Amino acid sequence: MSKVKITKGTKYVVGVDAIESILTSLKEQNYKTIGPTIRDEVIIYDELDNISELPIGITDVHESGSYRLIERADKALFGYNVGPFSFKKYLFPPRLTILKTKRVDGKISIIRKDEHLDKLAFFGVKPCELQAILIQDKIFIDGEYVDNYYKKQRDALFIVTTNCTEAGSSCFCTSTDSGPEAKSGFDLAITEMIIDNDHSFLIEAGSKSGLKVLKELDIKKASADLINIEIQKLDSAKNNMGRKLNTTNLKDLLLENLNHPHWEDIAKRCTSCGNCTMVCPTCFCSNIEDVTSLDGVENERVRSWDSCFSMEYSYIHGGAVRASIKSRYRQWMTHKLASWQEQFDTLGCVGCGRCIVWCQVGIDITKETQTIQKQVTAQAEQLAEVEN
């Protein structure tokens, strides 16, 4: 137990062993702890028993359509950016039975039964991932109709954020205002500090539950020098983003250019595989299917992730509304960057770069946007010249 007076929003310093203690403390509070670990040569999120399962001394190298793990020079616990999975699957599961019914003698009734869900703690949530959760809150909790599963998991959720001191080559969270430092929405926020041979962590609590965990640790207040170094590290991440997205006036620009010829150009490369929607931490579209027992008595309505890149997605009588790949890519990108703003008053993109990395043909949302922006600006300038 620490003798320092511990308050919310103050930065403290701890050693590597404290990270293990946080994990243990969360387990003692009966949380199922989910965090990064290596599987099949990628960093994924899964249940963590101890910190030796973290991707220690490993980082990920990204490019359009490429992802590789390499060894770091140090033993950083959180020295990577983002893998193919986000935490989305825990709050909005890829498959979930949302209703059970049965039909006996022609009478159909709803089967109501309480389910038992694990209380979750997310460990090592990058700021862009945290922003994605806050965006999904708006969809599943803040609207007129609330998704019960999401809300129950979310209410009990404990979030340990890890700020990014290194930006990846497909990252652009400064453009989407979602990193490299988490501003709110976490229970604990950690910045990993490796200075020469000294390995420590700056830590702050963002909630009462976070404070409770913090109080159990052996901590001391961070020195002004150390906080300055943290600022420098975060600034360096800010200045080294591999990608950039100019979001000024982006909503109007895209929605006013739904017939821009560049959509055709993207469609020539896009295979409409839907990878971008599967790796995106904010994509929330779902399908609902009936799964019936062989005797036809019991039935489950199963909700599963869906993708606006499939033909079935827009199917109405007579055929798919979005039959061309052009219209499906346009739907996805304009939704992320433009219409999402009308629907939920926020961008639908957090700048994690997953859609760039996991696109099998390397389509880059930031570059495609830039192309449209440049062409529209050039056209407007030409027009202005003619008018003058």
Q: Looking only at residues 176 through 195 of this chain, which bind other proteins when binding is defined by CB under 8 A?
A: 185, 187
The residues near 17 (Cβ < 8 Å, ≥ 6 apart) are none
Q: Is 144 in the site for other proteins (CB under 8 A)?
A: yes
Stretch that binds other proteins, among 51-59, 92-100, 350-358, 366-374 (CB under 8 A): 92-100
Q: Which residue has the tokens 């150390």?
A: 226
Amino acid symbol at 216: E
116 Cα distance to chain centroid:
25
The residues near 180 (Cβ < 8 Å, ≥ 6 apart) are 127, 163, 164, 165, 167, 171, 173, 174, 234, 237, 238
The residue within the footprint of other proteins, chosen from 56, 139, 267, 302 (CB under 8 A), is 139
Interactions with other proteins, residue window 239-298 (CB under 8 A): 255, 258-259, 284-290, 292, 296
Q: Is 149 in the site for other proteins (CB under 8 A)?
A: yes
Q: Is 152 in the site for other proteins (CB under 8 A)?
A: yes
Stretch that binds other proteins, among 103-111, 169-177, 214-222, 354-362 (CB under 8 A): 103-111
Judge whether 377 and 253 are in contact, CB under 8 Å. Answer: no
Direct distance between the N- and C-terminal alpha carbons of the chain, in angstroms, rounded to an integer? 74
Q: How far is the CB of 362 from other proteins (least distance, A)?
A: 25
Of the candidates 341, 349, 361, 344, the residue with the CA atom closest to the CA atom of residue 137? 344
Judge whether 353 and 264 are in contact, CB under 8 Å. Answer: no
**How many chain residues interact with other proteins (CB under 8 A)?**
81
Interactions with other proteins, residue window 210-229 (CB under 8 A): 212
Interactions with other proteins, residue window 37-76 (CB under 8 A): none
Q: Report d(CA 388, CA 376) in Å as an integer.
A: 18
Between 161 and 366, whose beta carbon lies closer to other proteins? 161
Stretch that binds other proteins, among 62-70, 80-88, 299-307, 374-382 (CB under 8 A): 299-307
Stretch that binds other proteins, among 29-37, 74-82, 217-225, 365-373 (CB under 8 A): 29-37
